[in-house]
Each structure stands twice: as C-alpha cells, then as structure tokens.
Amino acid sequence: MKNDVKPVYLKLRDVIAAAILDGNFKEGQMLPSVRAFAADHGANPLTVAKAYLLFQDSGLVDVKRGVGLFVASGATAKLRSFERENFLQNIWPDVKAQMQRAGIDPIELLALN
C-alpha cells in the first residue's frame, strides 16, 4: 500500500487534518500543545512539531506567540479541497480500477446505504 511507508510526521499531519475536518478541532480553537499531542499519540514531540509546522506553512493554523496554535479561519474548506484533490488524483484511480476488476457498479455502491 502507498501509505505504509509514509513518515510519522505525515501520518500525524493526517490525524490532525482529519480532526479538523471531523470538527474535533474547530476554526478558532486552540490545538493541543506539542507535548500534549505527542503524549496522546505516543510520538516524539519533535515529530509533532514538524507536523504542526506543515500546518503553519500552509496557513491552516494561526500562531499566537506564547499562547499556542489555533485553527485558522477557512482551514476546513482548504483542507477539504486538499482532501478532494488527493482523493481524485491518488486514491480514486486505484479504487476505480479495483471496482472494474470486481465488476462493481458505482450505482450499486450508492444503493448500499
């Protein structure tokens, strides 16, 4: 699988992004401290800091010096756009090919709910 070799800081980035998209961290809300997040996820604080830096560099969090990191306004929409693009470019082609091999009709999938 493609994600099996993903570096830990990118896996942590995905965990944070999912939490924002799922509404666990809302826009304007403070993210856990690096140490707290590291402890909760069994990660090295430097690795968490690297993941947080990716969010800073992307403008997805606002830094308040001496206070912490806060989910930026518009972060959810921006992340959703990133997720959509990633799905369409990197995940969907493999899923589509597997569906074709298995003879699964997309309409059939929609009817499963």
What residue segments make up the domains of the chain, in order of their start?
A: 2-110
Tokens of 103: 């003879």
pLDDT in tens, 70-107: 999 999 999 999 999 999 999 999 999 999 999 999 88
Give the model's pLDDT for residue 72.
97
* SS3 of the chain: helix, strand, coil, percent, to 5: 65, 10, 30
Instruction: State if pTM tops 0.75.
Output: yes
> How far is CA 47 from each of CA 10, 24, 96, rounded to the nearest angstrom?
9, 21, 34
CATH number of 2-110: 1.10.10.10
pLDDT in tens, 8-59: 999 999 999 999 999 999 999 999 999 999 999 999 999 999 999 999 999 9
